[in-house]
Each structure stands twice: as C-alpha cells, then as structure tokens.
Structure 1
Amino acid sequence: MPASAEAGGIGLYVHWPFCRSKCPYCDFNSHVRDAIDQRRWRAALLKDLDAAARGHEGRRLDSIFFGGGTPSLMDAETVAALLARARALFAFAPDIEITLEANPNSAEAAAFEAYARAGVNRLSLGVQALDDAALVQLGRAHGASEARAALGLARSLFPRFSFDLIYARPGQDPAAWRTELSEALALAGDHLSAYALTFEPGTPFHARLKRGEIRPPDEDTQAAMFEATREIAAAHGFAAYEVSNHARRGGESRHNLVYWRYADYLGIGPGAHGRERGRDGAIAAIRRARSPEAWLDQVEGAGSGEEAREALDRREAATEMLMMGLRLSEGVARDRFAARIGAPLEDFVDPDAARDLSGRGLLTYQDDRIAATAAGRAVLDRLLAKLLV
C-alpha cells in the first residue's frame, strides 16, 4: 500500500453539504436547498481553507477529497479555485491524489470533463446498485444504465476511479449479491467500496424498519454476503485492504489511508472534522460548524468555520488509532503507534486478550505490528471491546 501517509504528509477534506434529494438511508451531513449561491460558497470555502492551513503552510499534501453531500453539484470553477489555493498553501506531493465524489446520473456526468480539467484525478461514483428496482428502493436518482454509462465515462476521463455499492438490502439474497458484485467488478477501475446497508436512527429507513415495513437480511445472511464480497473481489484481483474497501495493487484510496493510519488531516466546510498533532505532541480533534447556514455565517463573520478544538489525551488518541488502524489488513505498526501516541502499544492493549484473540484466529500479535485477521475484521467491534484496556 502507498506509504506516504506514514512519512509526514497530510490530507485535506472539503465538504460540500448539498444534494438534489436526501436518500432514505443517509445520515450524513447533507441537505437539500432550493438555490445555492455558488460564488458565495466558493469564497467561504477559500476563506475556511486559509484558516485551516495556518500553521501547516508548506507541508506536503498527499491527498484532497471532495466529499458530501454531492460534490458533483459544485461548479468546476469552485473546484479549480480550491485546488489553486491549496497548491499555493501546501507542497503538493508529486503523486497527489485528488478525489471528487459524484453521482452517476447523466446530468451530473456532463460535468465530469470539467472536473478533470480543474485537476481532479480520481472520481468516486455513488453507484450503490446495478439493478433498477434496487436503485428505486434506495431512493437513488439514477438508473442502472446511467450508472454503467457514467463508469465508462469515468474510465475515459480520469486516471483512477472508484465506486460504491450497498449490499444486504431488504429482499436481497447472497446469490443475487454474488451476481451483482461480479458484474460490478467487471466494470471497475482500481478500487471498489462495498457497504452493508445500515438503518441509522433519524433516517426514513430506520422509521420503516421500526414499523416493520422493511426487513434486512438476518445476521448470518449478512455475514455470508460479507465473506462473498471478499472472496469474489479477490478473485477479480481486488484485495480487501480494509473492512469495506477493495483495491488492485496500488489502487488503495490514499486519502482514506490518511484516516486509517491516523495521520494529520485538515477538514473544511460544514461539519468537517480534522486531526492535527501539535508541537507538544498532543493530537487535537477539530470540528467545523455542522449546519450549512451556521458555517457560512461563521466563516463570513469570523474568517473560519471552526467550531471546536479539543486536545485528546493519550488514551483517547490511542483508542482512535487502534479503532481506525485495525480496520486495515496491514494493521498498526508498533513503531508508528509509539511515534504517533508517545507511548508503547502495551499501555493500551491487554496482552492476555491479544494472545487469546490470536489463538482464536482473529488477531495477529507480532513483534512489529498488531493486525486483525479477515475473520477478526468481520467482528471488529467485539474484538476491540476485548482488546482495549
């Protein structure tokens, strides 16, 4: 996997909070608005970027990720302006990864070429399903044929592209998922994300679940789908380098590796989060105002969307690093952990529990690193509950 996140580089996340409609399963910070003043939002994002960059000027920037919401509703001019400002503030890595999330409907696909000209070199498409009935069920605004066309366009315009799929949908069985996934992998670039459908409180899907109107596959069926995902992806040359993410060699998402390896990253835009290590070695958790209107007012009035900055103690930081790092097949290197946290791994991990989990085939506990096995990553929450002290 790319090692850049281990060598002092940072990532930048840009949040665009707007969507044309809200999907019934989505609990992200996304909002539907009748009109968006693109110039006003461009100016505010540039100002928030200037604020976030203070103290980091000149650092190597390994990745930029435009997420949302639906960033493919941003003017390409806004993307270009943010990339130009970032280039002036930071030292772009020679192989910097610049990703933009996009919907695969034909209206938004028309802007793909403009994003490529602006400097985006990796597209992440929210395909979610390759079946029209499933897309209607998920509340998506595109059809399966549009998704296939968008994937072909992405292949022609961008050096790299990825797309997301959702499985364990109501009414879906393992055989249907195997067929859909195999077709998807035949269309894939160098990366695929596959997520089990979740029913988050506050979403329409959760309300329907509570009313008994929809029912997801049972736990055993979901486990079978998870295992099938890993098996079929591997057969197509896509290794499961993280719980839900699969890539060809070298195709891993560098931006997400910044998160999972617990490196520094800056976040701008409504609700964006960041992690920064200060000169004293302490790691700070930074949060920007969540509401689009509150964030906009704050940036225009105070020059920054930052709402809170909290210094994490060593235990909090260690817990975060292990929770993120054990999602990766590579796990957490002991030397990187000690350098980042300022204390050895054993200060935060129960060695007896680690040896027990290792004996059960859920964990590898070695001299140089700790890593969850494929079986361990399938039950990661339970593994962490036993492992952490």
Structure 2
Amino acid sequence: MSINQSSNPSAPAAPLALYVHWPFCVSKCPYCDFNSHVRDRIDTEAWRTALLADMAHEAALTGGRPLSSIFFGGGTPSLMPPALVAELIAAADRHWGLADDVEITLEANPNSVEAARFADLAAAGVNRVSLGLQALDNEALHFLGRAHDVDEGLAALDTAQRVFNRVSFDLIYARPDQSEADWQAELERALGFGTGHLSLYQLTIEPGTRFATLVAQGKLTPADPDQGATLYELTQAMTGAAGIPAYEISNHARAGQESRHNLTYWRYGDYIGIGPGAHGRRTGAATLRHKKPENWMGAVERNGHGTQSEEPLAGEDRAREALLMGLRLAEGVDLDRIAALSGIGIAQLVDERTIDQLIDIGLLHRKGAKLQVAAAGMLLLDAILPEIVRV
C-alpha cells in the first residue's frame, strides 16, 4: 500500500495513496524474480490477518488524511478472494477515510479465469482495472512468456470494460524483428477499443531475466535503438491524434483518465507500501518491507508489521528522487516546490547553464520555476537527466 502526503507541516493534510502488494503468482514469470512465489495453496486467513496488521501499523503513523487511491498489485492480485479485497478496502476506510472520488485499481492478467472474478471484485469496491495484455499478436505473446492468447485477452478486456468504470491495459513494443508497419497496425487496433488509459512500454532487457540469458547466449537480439526511437515517435503521433496523449513518458490517457495512484509517485507525494517487498515514502523516510513472503509474515507476527528498514531521506535524496520522477511527466516539475521540500536552493538542484542550452535546441521548456522536458526531449530523457540534475 502507499500514501501521498504534503511535505509542508502548515499546509492542509494532503490525501494519501495506498498500495497493497500480493506476491503470489499463478505461473512462473519471465520478468521478475518472484518465480519462488508460485503457490498451489495459500493460507488466506493468515494473509488477511497479516495485511490488516501491516496496514494498522502504517495507519497509526499517518492517520487523519484521506486516501485518494488504493492499488492492488504484485503477483496475481486479481486472484485474491474478493471478500479479502473488500475487507482491506473497508479497513483502509476506517483508518484513513476514502476520498469521494477514490481510485481503487487492481492489476489483472487477461485470462478467462480472472475475468470471471471481475464482477465480484467490482462489488468488493474495485473501480479500475489494469490488464497485462502486453501484445495483440500470438507469436509475440508466446515470446513474452504469456499464458493467454489474443482472443482470451480481448475477451477479458471486453469483460473489464463492461464491469469497471475505468480500464487500462499495457502493450510492449520494440520487440525483436517488430517492424514499423507491425507496430502501427497493432497500436491502431489497440486504440480502436476506446480504452481510457494505455501503458506503452519498449521492451527492455533486465538483468537476471530469461531475456537477459537469451541475449547473453546470442539467441536474442534486442531491437536497434534507432528502431526503438522510430517506434516511440510513431506511438506519440498516433496516440496524440487519437486523443489519448502521453502524460508520462510511457503512459497515455484521455483527459481525466490519468492514473491518480501513479501520479502520486511521479509528483513525489508520500506513499506507504505494505505486503512483501513493498516500498514506501512517508514523512521524509524510505520504508521497505521484507521481500520473501515467509520473512515478511514472520516479521508481522513478531513486530506487528513487516518493515525491514525505515531510513530518513537526506534533502539531496528527496530532491533527486523528485526530479527524476517528476521530469518523466509531460507537466514537468515545480523547482520551487522541490527546493522547499529538500531545503536545497534551485541553483544547487539543477545545472542552469545546461538547461539553457537544452532550451535553445528545443529539448526543454521553462517558465519561471516550472521545468518540463519537451516532447523531442523525452526520446533522450535518460541522457538529459544526468546532465541537468545536480544533486
């Protein structure tokens, strides 16, 4: 779970965002190291007790502020019993209170088993679902290690759009051998579903994954960076023309359909994470839960919470995180706000000379304390950030 909080003690209490991490997967995942978290049987009652205790611990430290969002993520949270989801939502309401327009999101795999539970999850209080479609091509889904096929995924999407008020799904592009025409046709089809939010990610090779092993063995050749840039520019043009522009480098939404929960992260609000491996940021400290489910459960039984570490964040750390997260957003960052929350002057936060140079060539925009990466600069974001962030 996570929480969003103002850094100014004299300001009105800011709303919070809550993240619940459910670590269990139904099958081995090619993207993460949670393969050991595949379980045939789960003691739901023990997990209910532990999650409620972990939540209560954080609530005691952050009460008095309403929740603006709740996000159920992790392994396969859509296979959580709907009654447990409902109980966690009710407990969060008791502890903090829910905003009138609270966003409650649950991640789901797009298969028939999970889609059959959507109505019960909606009745439990979930009002937004994020589907991991990942591709609209069966060969690509096989390559990505997904268990569903296109027909099953689209059937789940259809169910989700009938059941939930808000739906998002993700696609991965810049796959090996994917042509511009291939991606154009796939994205055009995706845009035709009328979904309010899309997460469109380029395939990246993360250390320790099956893909990294295949690359090391010479069995997989990643897409050329120039090809990735071409597909990125095509993506921006097509989504913009369809009225679902990027509000973050990889996330696109119709007006009002942006993920409020993720905006808490990107705008550097405080957030609380509960459940195995969950991270948090609250009242100037970074929190981390035990990652292994058994270790987290043992910590909750011993201490009443699953915290592994809680470390104060220096001003430099807070400023760096706020800049690196916020500059991913189309809206950019308010340098005055970051200076205030970190206690570091703007001249020490960013390299003014480099900023002026990047403005001159159209990669950045600045108006007063408002700094934004221009659309042309987003392609070069990984190169730009180290040049302008000084902390």
Fold equivalence (TM over 0.5): yes
CA distance in 1, matches of 2:74, 2:152: 21
Tell me which residue corresponds to 1:199: 205
Contact 1:29–1:271 (8 Å) recurs in 2: no
Match of 1:25 in 2: 31
Cα deviation, residue 23, structure 1: 2.6
Deviation at 1:321, TM superposition (A): 0.2
Task: Judge conservation of contact 1:5–1:258 (CA < 8 Å) in 2.
Answer: no
Matching of residue 157 in structure 1 with residue 158 in structure 2: no
Could you tell me which amino acid in structure 2 is paired with residue 340 of structure 1?
L
Alignment of 1:188-267 (within 5 A): 188-267=194-273
Q: Which amino acid in 1 is paired with 2:23? A: P
Is residue 2:304 matched to residue 1:303?
yes
**Alpha-carbon shift at residue 5 of structure 1 (Å):** 7.8
Question: Partners in 2 of 1:196 and 1:244 — Cα distance?
Answer: 8
Counterparts of 1:95 and 1:245, CA distance in 2: 21
The reply on whether 1:315 has 2:321 as its aligned counterpart is: no
Question: Cα offset for 1:365?
Answer: 2.4
Structure 1 CA distance, aligned partners of 2:35 and 2:55?
A: 19
Q: In structure 1, the residue corresponding to 2:264 is in which secondary structure? A: helix
**Paired residue secondary structure (1:255):** helix
Instruction: Verify the 8 A CA contact 1:19 1:73 in the aligned structure 2.
Output: no
- The offset of 1:337, in angstroms, is 2.1
Instruction: Write the letter of the residue equivalent to 1:197.
Output: L
The 1-side partners of 2:116 and 2:95 are apart by 30
1:83 aligns with 2:92: no
Correspondence for 1:345: 346
CA distance in 2 between partners of 1:27 and 1:329 (Å): 32
The answer to whether the 8 A contact 1:80-1:118 is kept is yes
Equivalent residue runs for 1:58-77 within 5 Å:
58-77=64-83
> Could you tell me which of 138, 142, 148 is aligned with 2:154?
148
Contact 2:27 2:35 in 1 (8 A): no
Q: Which range moves more in the overlay, 33-42 or 194-203? A: 33-42
Q: TM-score, normalised by structure 1?
A: 0.95
Deviations 1:174-208 (A, max 9, x none): 21011101101111421000111111111111101
User: Does residue 1:271 correspond to 2:271, yes or no?
Assistant: no
Query: Aligned runs of 1:87-166 on 2, under 5 Å?
Result: 87-166=93-172
Segments of 5+ residues of structure 1 without an aligned counterpart are: 278-282
Query: For residues 302-321 of structure 1, what are the alpha-carbon distances to aligned partners after superposition, in whole Å with 9 as ceiling and x for unaligned?
Result: 11011101111111110000
1:187 is aligned with what amino acid? Answer: F
List per-residue Cα deviations over 1:62-113 (Å, max 9, x = no partner): 1110011111121111110100000000121111100000011001111101
Alpha-carbon distance between aligned partners in 1 of 2:109 and 2:80, rounded to the nearest angstrom? 12
- String of CA shifts for 1:225-245, please: whole Å, max 9, x gaps: 111111111111101000100
Q: What CA distance in whole angstroms lies between the structure 2 residues aligned with 1:5 and 1:256?
A: 14
- C-alpha separation between the residues in 2 aligned to 1:195 and 1:267? 24
- SS at structure 2 position matched to 1:187: coil
CA-CA distance at 1:124 after TM superposition:
0.4
Partners of 2:19 and 2:73 within 8 A in 1: yes
Aligned equivalents of 1:105, 1:230: Cα separation in 2: 29
Matched, 1:356 2:357: yes
How far apart, CA to CA, are the structure 2 residues paired with 1:97 and 1:307? 28
Letter in 2 for 1:387: I
Give the Å deviation of 1:368. 3.3
Q: Give runs of aligned pairs for residues 8-47 of structure 1, distance below 5 A.
A: 8-27=14-33, 31-47=37-53
* SS of equivalent residue, structure 1 residue 233: helix
Q: Which SS does the other structure have where 1:192 is aligned?
A: strand
Indicate yes or no: 2:362 matched with 1:366. no
Contact 1:30 1:69 in 2 (8 A): no
Q: CA RMSD in A?
A: 1.6
Partner of 1:54, secondary structure, is helix
- Counterpart Cα distance in 2 of 1:130 and 1:327: 27
SS in 1 for 2:192: helix
Of 379-388 and 330-339, the range deviating more from structure 2:
330-339
1:285-335 deviations in Å (ceiling 9; x for gaps): 111101111111111221101110111111111000000000000000234
Range 326-335 or range 18-27, more displaced: 18-27
Q: Which secondary structure does the structure 2 equivalent of 1:324 belong to?
A: helix
> After the TM superposition, which of the residue ranges 343-352 and 38-47 deviates more from structure 2?
343-352
